[in-house]
Amino acid sequence: MNNWTRALVGLAIFSTLQFTACVKEKELSPLTCQLETAGEQFTEESIDVVYTLEAQGNYTVESFYYYDESGKVTINNPQIPSSITITLSSQKIMQAGASASVTEGIVQIGFIAQSNLNVYESGDLCQQTKH
């Protein structure tokens, strides 16, 4: 290889290294989510409902709500993970929701209730990942 060829190859390698060193990973902005399960109405005399709140990664959960016998119950800054079991009889609506933001991770809510005849289940999630 002559000196000109070596110089051009060296310049090409140096330029490539400089270009790749300047490329930054795109930072994610928090994704704001209002999570809500479908509202289910049961027909049994009473039923046990398990409400859940789970999360992984970089997230913030401002509030979580569910229904008990007295109606809608809201918990601010809930503990995660959470699993709450409620027996419903006169209050016939099962539903949960949360207000959250996710930068890189997942927040999910849900409920499940089972009787001898029926299974009631619903959930929602908020997820954001880097590509």
- pLDDT (tens digit, 9 = 90+) per residue, 80-89? 999 999 999 9
89: in domain: yes
Quick check: 46 and 88 in contact, CB under 8 A? yes
**Residue 62 lies in domain:** 31-128
Number of domains in the chain: 1
**One-character DSSP codes across 42-102:** --SS-EEEEEEEEEEEEEEEEEEEEEETTEEEEEES--SSEEEEEEESS--EE-EEEEEEE
> What is the rounded distance in angstroms from the CA atom of residue 68 to the CA atom of residue 94?
8
> What is the rounded distance in angstroms from the CA atom of residue 122 to the CA atom of residue 64?
15
In this predicted structure, what is the pLDDT of residue 11?
Answer: 47
Average confidence score pLDDT of the chain:
86
Task: With a cut of 50, say whether residue 7 has pLDDT above it.
Answer: no
Task: With a cut of 70, say whether residue 69 has pLDDT above it.
Answer: yes
62: in domain: yes
120: in domain: yes
> What is the rounded distance in angstroms from the CA atom of residue 18 to the CA atom of residue 58?
32
In this predicted structure, what is the pLDDT of residue 27?
Answer: 78
In this predicted structure, what is the pLDDT of residue 23?
Answer: 52
In this predicted structure, what is the pLDDT of residue 83?
Answer: 97
17: in domain: no
- pLDDT (tens digit, 9 = 90+) per residue, 18-65? 544 445 566 778 899 999 999 999 989 999 999 999 999 999 999 999
88: in domain: yes
In this predicted structure, what is the pLDDT of residue 8?
Answer: 44
CATH number of the domain residue 63 falls in:
2.60.40
- pLDDT (tens digit, 9 = 90+) per residue, 109-118? 999 999 988 9
In this predicted structure, what is the pLDDT of residue 24?
Answer: 57
84: in domain: yes
123: in domain: yes
DSSP bridge pairs for 128: 105
8: in domain: no
